[in-house]
Protein backbone atom coordinates (compact mmCIF):
# COMPACT_ATOMS: atom_id res chain seq x y z
CA UNK A 1 0.00 0.00 0.00
CA UNK A 2 0.98 3.63 -0.57
CA UNK A 3 -0.42 6.39 1.64
CA UNK A 4 -1.12 9.79 0.11
CA UNK A 5 -0.14 12.53 2.54
CA UNK A 6 2.48 12.79 5.28
CA UNK A 7 0.91 14.95 7.98
CA UNK A 8 -0.94 14.19 11.19
CA UNK A 9 -3.87 12.39 9.58
CA UNK A 10 -1.50 10.29 7.49
CA UNK A 11 0.28 9.23 10.67
CA UNK A 12 -2.97 7.92 12.16
CA UNK A 13 -3.90 6.17 8.90
CA UNK A 14 -0.44 4.62 8.74
CA UNK A 15 -0.76 3.37 12.32
CA UNK A 16 -4.03 1.60 11.41
CA UNK A 17 -2.44 0.04 8.33
CA UNK A 18 0.51 -1.17 10.39
CA UNK A 19 -1.83 -2.64 13.02
CA UNK A 20 -3.55 -4.54 10.22
CA UNK A 21 -0.22 -5.98 9.09
CA UNK A 22 -0.31 -4.37 5.64
CA UNK A 23 3.03 -3.54 4.06
CA UNK A 24 3.43 0.17 3.28
CA UNK A 25 5.85 0.95 0.47
CA UNK A 26 6.02 4.70 1.07
CA UNK A 27 4.12 7.91 1.67
CA UNK A 28 3.69 10.75 -0.82
CA UNK A 29 3.14 14.45 -0.22
CA UNK A 30 2.81 17.65 -2.24
CA UNK A 31 5.36 19.41 0.01
CA UNK A 32 8.92 18.77 -1.27
CA UNK A 33 10.35 19.76 2.12
CA UNK A 34 9.00 16.48 3.51
CA UNK A 35 10.75 14.27 0.95
CA UNK A 36 13.13 11.92 2.71
CA UNK A 37 11.39 12.32 6.07
CA UNK A 38 10.01 9.27 7.83
CA UNK A 39 6.60 8.82 9.45
CA UNK A 40 6.45 5.88 11.87
CA UNK A 41 9.47 4.47 10.09
CA UNK A 42 8.07 4.83 6.54
CA UNK A 43 9.74 7.24 4.10
CA UNK A 44 8.08 10.08 2.24
CA UNK A 45 9.49 9.34 -1.21
CA UNK A 46 8.00 12.14 -3.30
CA UNK A 47 4.77 13.47 -4.75
CA UNK A 48 1.91 11.78 -6.52
CA UNK A 49 4.04 11.46 -9.65
CA UNK A 50 5.30 8.27 -8.04
CA UNK A 51 1.95 6.68 -8.91
CA UNK A 52 2.60 7.05 -12.64
CA UNK A 53 5.13 4.20 -12.37
CA UNK A 54 2.88 1.97 -10.27
CA UNK A 55 0.67 -0.82 -11.59
CA UNK A 56 -2.73 -0.33 -9.90
CA UNK A 57 -3.18 -4.11 -9.82
CA UNK A 58 -0.22 -4.44 -7.48
CA UNK A 59 -0.64 -1.60 -4.98
CA UNK A 60 -3.61 -0.30 -2.98
CA UNK A 61 -3.91 3.31 -1.86
CA UNK A 62 -5.06 5.10 1.29
CA UNK A 63 -5.72 8.82 1.56
CA UNK A 64 -3.85 10.32 4.48
CA UNK A 65 -4.58 13.93 3.54
CA UNK A 66 -6.13 15.66 6.51
CA UNK A 67 -9.76 16.70 6.34
CA UNK A 68 -9.00 19.84 8.37
CA UNK A 69 -6.18 21.19 6.24
CA UNK A 70 -8.23 24.17 5.08
CA UNK A 71 -8.22 26.03 8.39
CA UNK A 72 -11.67 27.47 9.03
CA UNK A 73 -12.94 25.98 5.76
CA UNK A 74 -13.76 22.41 6.74
CA UNK A 75 -15.69 21.40 3.62
CA UNK A 76 -13.23 22.16 0.79
CA UNK A 77 -10.62 19.66 2.10
CA UNK A 78 -13.32 16.96 2.26
CA UNK A 79 -14.26 17.62 -1.36
CA UNK A 80 -10.58 17.65 -2.35
CA UNK A 81 -10.01 14.27 -0.72
CA UNK A 82 -12.99 12.83 -2.54
CA UNK A 83 -11.89 14.29 -5.88
CA UNK A 84 -8.47 12.64 -5.50
CA UNK A 85 -10.19 9.38 -4.63
CA UNK A 86 -12.41 9.50 -7.74
CA UNK A 87 -9.57 10.44 -10.09
CA UNK A 88 -7.31 7.62 -8.92
CA UNK A 89 -10.13 5.08 -8.77
CA UNK A 90 -10.77 5.80 -12.48
CA UNK A 91 -7.14 4.88 -13.11
CA UNK A 92 -7.73 1.50 -11.52
CA UNK A 93 -6.41 2.02 -7.99
CA UNK A 94 -8.28 0.36 -5.13
CA UNK A 95 -8.95 2.03 -1.79
CA UNK A 96 -9.74 -0.66 0.78
CA UNK A 97 -11.68 0.30 3.89
CA UNK A 98 -9.40 0.50 6.93
CA UNK A 99 -10.84 -0.62 10.25
CA UNK A 100 -8.63 -0.46 13.34
CA UNK A 101 -8.53 -3.80 15.22
CA UNK A 102 -9.78 -2.00 18.35
CA UNK A 103 -12.90 -0.65 16.60
CA UNK A 104 -16.15 -2.62 16.76
CA UNK A 105 -18.31 -2.82 13.64
CA UNK A 106 -21.47 -4.94 13.48
CA UNK A 107 -21.39 -7.69 10.88
CA UNK A 108 -24.30 -6.37 8.84
CA UNK A 109 -22.94 -2.84 8.37
CA UNK A 110 -22.12 -1.55 4.90
CA UNK A 111 -18.66 0.04 4.74
CA UNK A 112 -17.70 2.04 1.64
CA UNK A 113 -14.45 2.12 -0.28
CA UNK A 114 -11.64 3.98 1.41
CA UNK A 115 -13.60 4.50 4.64
CA UNK A 116 -11.36 4.90 7.69
CA UNK A 117 -12.56 3.69 11.08
CA UNK A 118 -10.19 4.47 13.92
CA UNK A 119 -9.49 2.97 17.34
CA UNK A 120 -12.35 2.80 19.82
CA UNK A 121 -15.09 3.51 17.29
CA UNK A 122 -18.37 1.59 17.69
CA UNK A 123 -20.76 1.09 14.78
CA UNK A 124 -23.95 -0.72 15.68
CA UNK A 125 -26.10 -3.01 13.44
CA UNK A 126 -27.81 -1.73 10.32
CA UNK A 127 -25.48 1.20 9.68
CA UNK A 128 -24.11 2.39 6.34
CA UNK A 129 -20.78 4.21 6.05
CA UNK A 130 -20.08 5.99 2.74
CA UNK A 131 -16.99 5.93 0.57
CA UNK A 132 -13.99 7.76 2.07
CA UNK A 133 -15.80 8.63 5.31
CA UNK A 134 -13.62 9.20 8.37
CA UNK A 135 -15.00 7.66 11.56
CA UNK A 136 -12.51 9.03 14.03
CA UNK A 137 -11.31 7.91 17.45
CA UNK A 138 -14.06 6.75 19.86
CA UNK A 139 -16.95 7.74 17.60
CA UNK A 140 -20.22 5.98 18.49
CA UNK A 141 -22.85 5.37 15.80
CA UNK A 142 -26.05 3.67 16.89
CA UNK A 143 -28.29 1.33 14.89
CA UNK A 144 -29.59 1.98 11.37
CA UNK A 145 -27.69 5.21 10.82
CA UNK A 146 -26.45 6.43 7.45
CA UNK A 147 -23.16 8.32 7.21
CA UNK A 148 -22.64 9.73 3.71
CA UNK A 149 -19.65 9.86 1.39
CA UNK A 150 -16.60 11.86 2.47
CA UNK A 151 -18.12 12.72 5.86
CA UNK A 152 -15.72 13.37 8.75
CA UNK A 153 -16.95 12.45 12.21
CA UNK A 154 -14.30 13.91 14.51
CA UNK A 155 -13.14 12.17 17.72
CA UNK A 156 -15.82 11.46 20.30
CA UNK A 157 -18.86 12.19 18.10
CA UNK A 158 -22.05 10.36 19.15
CA UNK A 159 -24.80 9.59 16.65
CA UNK A 160 -28.09 8.22 17.97
CA UNK A 161 -30.10 5.54 16.20
CA UNK A 162 -31.41 6.17 12.67
CA UNK A 163 -29.43 9.37 12.17
CA UNK A 164 -28.44 10.51 8.69
CA UNK A 165 -25.42 12.66 7.83
CA UNK A 166 -25.20 13.92 4.25
CA UNK A 167 -22.05 13.70 2.17
CA UNK A 168 -19.12 16.12 2.63
CA UNK A 169 -20.25 17.12 6.12
CA UNK A 170 -17.99 17.73 9.09
CA UNK A 171 -19.15 16.91 12.63
CA UNK A 172 -16.79 18.38 15.23
CA UNK A 173 -15.15 16.80 18.27
CA UNK A 174 -17.58 15.57 20.91
CA UNK A 175 -20.74 16.65 19.06
CA UNK A 176 -23.95 14.67 19.61
CA UNK A 177 -26.67 14.00 17.05
CA UNK A 178 -29.91 12.71 18.59
CA UNK A 179 -31.99 9.81 17.31
CA UNK A 180 -33.77 10.15 13.96
CA UNK A 181 -32.10 13.48 13.12
CA UNK A 182 -30.89 14.31 9.60
CA UNK A 183 -27.88 16.51 8.87
CA UNK A 184 -27.78 17.77 5.28
CA UNK A 185 -24.94 17.64 2.79
CA UNK A 186 -21.94 19.90 3.26
CA UNK A 187 -23.00 20.86 6.78
CA UNK A 188 -20.67 21.76 9.65
CA UNK A 189 -21.49 21.00 13.28
CA UNK A 190 -19.16 22.71 15.74
CA UNK A 191 -17.36 20.77 18.46
CA UNK A 192 -19.46 19.92 21.50
CA UNK A 193 -22.77 20.81 19.87
CA UNK A 194 -26.06 18.99 20.49
CA UNK A 195 -28.08 18.50 17.30
CA UNK A 196 -31.75 17.90 18.08
CA UNK A 197 -33.41 19.10 14.85
CA UNK A 198 -32.90 18.90 11.09
CA UNK A 199 -29.81 20.70 9.72
CA UNK A 200 -30.18 21.82 6.10
CA UNK A 201 -27.56 21.45 3.36
CA UNK A 202 -24.52 23.70 3.70
CA UNK A 203 -25.48 25.01 7.13
CA UNK A 204 -23.03 25.69 9.96
CA UNK A 205 -24.37 25.19 13.48
CA UNK A 206 -23.05 25.31 17.02
CA UNK A 207 -24.26 25.21 20.61
CA UNK A 208 -26.55 23.21 22.88
CA UNK A 209 -28.97 22.90 21.27
CA UNK A 210 -27.30 23.61 17.93
CA UNK A 211 -28.29 26.81 16.18
CA UNK A 212 -27.18 28.40 12.90
CA UNK A 213 -23.87 30.20 13.32
CA UNK A 214 -23.77 33.90 12.53
CA UNK A 215 -21.07 35.04 10.08
Statement: residue 11 has pLDDT above 60:
yes
DSSP string, the chain: -EEE--SHHHHHHHHHHHHTT----EEE-S-GGGTT-EETTEEEEESGGGGGGS-TTT--EEE---TTTTTT--HHHHHHHHHHHHHHHHTT-----EE-TT-EE-TT-EE-TT-EE-TT-EE-TT-EE-TT-EE-TT-EE-TT-EE-TT-EE-TT-EE-TT-EE-TT-EE-TT-EE-TT-EE-TT-EE-TT-EE-S-B-TT-EEETTTTEEPP-
Report the pLDDT averaged over residues 58-62: 97
Residue 2 has a pLDDT of 97
**Tens of pLDDT along 88-109?**
999 999 999 999 999 999 999 9
The residue ranking higher by pLDDT, 215 or 3, is 3
For a pLDDT cut of 70, what percent of the chain falls above it?
97
Label residue 69 by pLDDT band (50, 70, 90): low
**Tens of pLDDT along 129-183?**
999 999 999 999 999 999 999 999 999 999 999 999 999 999 999 999 999 999 9
Arithmetic mean of pLDDT over the chain: 95
pTM above 0.75, yes or no: yes
Q: Domains of the chain by range and CATH? A: 2-90 (3.40.50.20), 97-215 (2.160.10.10)
Label residue 71 by pLDDT band (50, 70, 90): low
For a pLDDT cut of 90, what percent of the chain falls above it?
89
Amino acid sequence: MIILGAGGHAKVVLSVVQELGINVLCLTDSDPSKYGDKVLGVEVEGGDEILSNINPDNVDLAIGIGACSGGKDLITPLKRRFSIFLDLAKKGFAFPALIHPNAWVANDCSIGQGAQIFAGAIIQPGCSIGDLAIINTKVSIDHDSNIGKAVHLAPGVTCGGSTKVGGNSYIGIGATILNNIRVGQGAVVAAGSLVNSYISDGTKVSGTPARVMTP
